[in-house]
Chains A and B, each alone.
Chain A
Amino acid sequence: MSADKTLGGAGTVPLSAAEAMTSTTAEPVADENGRASAATWRAFRREPLGLLAGGLLALLVFVAIAAPLLSPYPASFGENVLRPPGGGEWFGTDALGRSVYAEVVWGTQQSLLVAAAASLIAIAFGTLVAVVGAYFRSIDGFIGVVVDLTLSLPVLPLMILIAALVGPSTTTIILVVAAFSWPEVTRIVRSQALTVVNLPYVDAARLMTTSPVWIITKHVVPTVTPVIVVSVVVTASRAVLSAAGLAFLGLGDPTTWSWGRILYEAQQSGAMSSAWWLTLFPSLAILALVLSATLLSIAYNDARNPKSRRR
């Protein structure tokens, strides 16, 4: 046996410096995670973009929760139709004289609900499939094929088809978006989990118990959590875009306000060419959510990785 092989470690996958450190440490995993998270937070606080994005996201969540305090629910109609922003109406009025400000504020609720619920379902299912596949190598091949197959499907046409067949409602939107988001999560989490299950401490855990559930929940999932956090944010922002897209195509819930519905109604009323405020404000809201979610995930990822931390 050559010295090289011994240095390579027990795993078949080459290890990065940071992972090698983790795997060779004698200290318990939980302690290491505790110190790592503190370091991550220290690094994160030095990322102005990340803090800004976090603040923006917090603001949107606040708007969603405090909607009743910020604006009355949009009335069914108003006297002043298609008024530009100004006067009593911050964001102007739509083709039925309703306040666009009220619609955007109340639309935040539905948009965040879809984002949270869809990404939660996608993450839960995607992670489960990923870690199970990574741990039980016999079914990994099958899972890989299913993931590749699902990823290669034309997502938008299928979403449209399903939403049209089942009928428009918030639940439909959430399920449809979740159904097409989990493979992406699975792919990212699986690649990380594959590395983890081959590390010596997982082998060690196998000596302590025969329960794969215990090993997966105690040792595999905690290690892949940072990847999951990043994909939650990315999946959520993608869910908002998909939901807005479906609503714009008339496949959203016609009785609940969402940013996509404001755009859809602007298009239906033929007011897009003359009333810029109908499309600008909901679009800005979508942009704010997607941008802050993306920046936040980038900042978190940078902060988590010792190599990319700002000195």
Chain B
Amino acid sequence: MFRTSRIAAVAALAVSALALSACAPTAPEPSASASGGGGAGAASNETLTIATTTDVVNYNPLIGNSRSDYWITNLMYPHLLSIADDGSKEPQVATEWGYVDETTGFYEIRDDLTWSDGEKLTAEDVAWTMNAVKRDAPSGTFYGQLANFESAEAVSDTRVEITLTTADSSIVDEIGFWGNVVPKHVFEPAGSVAEFANDGSAGGWVSAGPYLLTDVQVGQSYTLERVEDYPLVEGGTPYSAEVVYRVFPDVNTEILALQSGEVDVIANSLPPAQVETLRNTPGIEVEEAVGLGYAHMTYNMTKPDLAKLEVRKALAHSVDYEAIRKVVLQDQAVSTGSSPLMPVLEDYYDDSIEEYEFDTDMARELMEEAGYTADAGGNFPVSFRLIYSLQDAVTSQWVTLVKDGAAEAGITIELQGTERNTYLAQTNAGDFDIYAGNFAIMDDPVTNMTLAYLPEGAINYTYVDDPELNELITTASSTTDKDEKVELMREAAAIVRDNVYDNIMYTQNLYFAHSDKWTGFVSKPSELLSIVNPISVASAHLK
């Protein structure tokens, strides 16, 4: 799911170390209404069983960790904003949001939400959550968004105002989307929100979402019961009486369980090669979700060889991007034109920026320009160590294509796939020549570039510090005029592409499988939300 180790800012991007990461909803939902509140309208006694591959590590939604953590806590602790296919934000707990002035933002929230213990969910809960996260700095996505946040105040029961340390035109959207709201009356007595386990040991959980966790069998299942009053779904009551998350060893067993009718939904995205097979399997339906993140490689510029632009270019030109998308991703990914502005971000996307061409002869020429001479075997005297996570199945597959392409250009790449935690430690320590990985959601270009390309950025894995680029990004982050912002971002993207400060390879569209007995799912971007987001789970119903 997302990296939480470095500054929480990393998490802001929901970095997905698993290959199956980025996704957004595109498929028209069979019965979901346009308002986002699908559902058959009537509550039932049914149980919706969902398969996952990991246990819940953290029940505190302010501390991110595994995918299951996010999926299950998301059913209890709502977000202010939701996200659309193109990365724009949609109302959830907040109905209106924006800026009072340059350094003051606001959210107007619904007045009809209640915690499951009877307490009203008010602006005080929202403000307290934000202030507590800023104060205790829990390692998670939420805290990462609070760099320019100073404090929040509940000015009425339904209005929260946030004070910023500096003008920031993205922060209201980003805090609203990435931050949960937790019950002040439960979390405040527990002390630091960075340490509160919230494991139900003090008498269970309290929910303002559609479901409430009631039973945990570690390694087996997590049972959630319906919260009768959930106004965000059509009819005001979730359809299924119970939602059960069942833990399986891997995606193979999940698929078998779905085929046998043991589970109704697989929460993990499907491996690309399985999508067609499952689509043609009777009894199973596959939902598509457009990607809102990207997979990329960065070249560590603190290494003398990689500090040379020609070498980075040579590496970028020795990758067969088409083959990767066609074979590894089964044409389920789209090229971003080697730009951090993905086509899915329609307002920002610039189609004049073109993808690095796969041309190993050109790569050889570039290496020679950089001053290297190939030996008799046609190999240049360089060797680069590429790190990736073995848990990331898709990346594990395409790195071999990267290695073979580079070998054709006479450049040696040594693959170092490691267990995820080792990989994250290496990434954060800069212990690599080439880094391969992906981000689940890169919804806001300014925020993303701030983190990825500014010298102190939490995910600046290239270790780039380009004054011209820095200037463009910092100017854009205080610019409120959309057209101007887009122009600045396009200029920045061209610099990133031309200098190979980042090698963005594709945006992957994700696919999710469920039993054809069920319908009414509401798909949202990324594997984090997909068809198991709160509205979708509450709206899903039997045909």
Chain A residues with a Cβ under 8 A of chain B:
76-79, 81-82, 95-97, 164, 167-168, 250, 254-255, 267-274
Contacts and interface: CB of A to CB of B under 8 A. Distances in A.
Contacts of B252: 267, 270-273
B396 interface: yes
Given A81-B273, A274-B274, A164 B255 contact: no
Chain A interface main SS type? loop
A271 B390 contact: no
Contacts of A79: 327
Contacts of A77: 323, 327-328, 400-401
A82 B273 contact: yes
B250 interface: yes
A267 B271 contact: no
A163 to B, nearest CB: 10
A271 B273 contact: yes
Given A269-B274, A269-B397, 16 more contacts: A79-B327, A81-B327, A82-B277, A168-B417, A254-B396, A267-B252, A268-B393, A269-B273, A270-B250, A270-B251, A270-B252, A270-B271, A270-B393, A271-B252, A271-B273, A273-B255
A250 B330 CA distance: 24
Residue of A81, A267, A270, A272 ringed by the most chain B CB atoms within 10 A: A270
B368 interface: no
A270 B390 contact: no
A181 to B, nearest CB: 25
B335 interface: no
A254 B274 contact: no
B112 interface: no
A76 B273 contact: no
B47 interface: no
Interface string B245-275: 0000011100110010000000000110110
A254 B271 contact: no
Contacts of B57: none
A273 B256 contact: yes
A270 B397 CA distance: 13
B418 interface: yes
Given A79-B327, A95-B397, A273-B252, A254 B390 contact: yes
Nearest to B407: A76
B29 interface: no
Contacts of A95: 271, 273, 397
B483 interface: no
B330 A81 contact: yes
Enumerate the 9 nearest inter-chain pairs by beta-carbon distance, A residue then B residue, closest first. Answer: A270-B271, A272-B252, A270-B251, A76-B404, A95-B273, A268-B393, A77-B327, A273-B255, A254-B417
Contacts of B404: 76
Given A78-B327, A164-B419, A96 B251 contact: no
14 contacts: A76-B401, A76-B403, A76-B404, A77-B328, A77-B401, A82-B277, A250-B390, A254-B396, A254-B415, A267-B252, A270-B274, A273-B252, A273-B255, A273-B259
Interface string B385-403: 0000010010011001101
Contacts of B259: 273
B256 A97 contact: no
A168 to B, nearest CB: 8
A82 B403 CA distance: 22
A97 B259 CA distance: 25
A269 B393 CA distance: 7
Nearest to B414: A255
Contacts of B327: 77-79, 81, 96-97
A164 B277 CA distance: 34
A270 B270 contact: yes
Contacts of B274: 269-271, 274
A102 to B, nearest CB: 14
A96 B393 CA distance: 12
A268 B277 CA distance: 16
A267 B397 CA distance: 13
Nearest to B252: A272
A259 B274 CA distance: 22
Nearest to A254: B417
Contacts of A271: 252, 271, 273-274
Interface in B258-317: 259, 270-271, 273-274, 277
B392 to A, nearest CB: 9
Contacts of A78: 327
Nearest to B330: A81
A157 B233 CA distance: 47
Contact of B328 (A96, A167, A168, A250): A96
Contact of A267 (B250, B277, B328): B250
A76 B419 contact: no
Interface in B317-368: 323, 327-328, 330
Nearest to A97: B327
Nearest to B274: A270
Contacts of B390: 250, 254
B416 to A, nearest CB: 8
A96 B397 contact: yes
A271 B400 CA distance: 19
A76 B404 CA distance: 7
Given A81-B330, A96-B328, A250-B390, A270 B400 contact: no
Contacts of A168: 417
B360 to A, nearest CB: 14
B317 to A, nearest CB: 17
A68 B193 CA distance: 61
B395 to A, nearest CB: 11
Given A77-B328, A164-B419, A254-B390, A269 B250 contact: no
Contacts of A274: 255, 274, 277
Interface string B369-412: 00000000000000000000010010011001101100000000
A272 B256 CA distance: 9
Nearest to A271: B273
Contacts of A250: 390, 419
B101 to A, nearest CB: 51
A254 to B, nearest CB: 5
A151 to B, nearest CB: 28
Given A167-B418, A271-B273, A271-B274, A76 B255 contact: no
Nearest to A272: B252
Contacts of A272: 252
A255 B401 CA distance: 12
A86 B403 CA distance: 30
Contact of A270 (B273, B401, B415, B416): B273
B511 to A, nearest CB: 11
A204 B423 CA distance: 62
Contacts of B330: 81
A12 to B, nearest CB: 53
Contacts of A270: 250-252, 255, 270-271, 273-274, 393
Contacts of B415: 254-255
B272 to A, nearest CB: 8
A164 B420 CA distance: 11
Residue from B251, B330, B403 with most neighbouring chain A CB atoms (10 Å)? B251
A97 B272 CA distance: 13
Contacts of B271: 95, 268-271
B328 A268 contact: no
A77 B397 CA distance: 9
A84 B400 CA distance: 23
Contact of A76 (B270, B393, B400, B417): B400
A250 B396 CA distance: 11
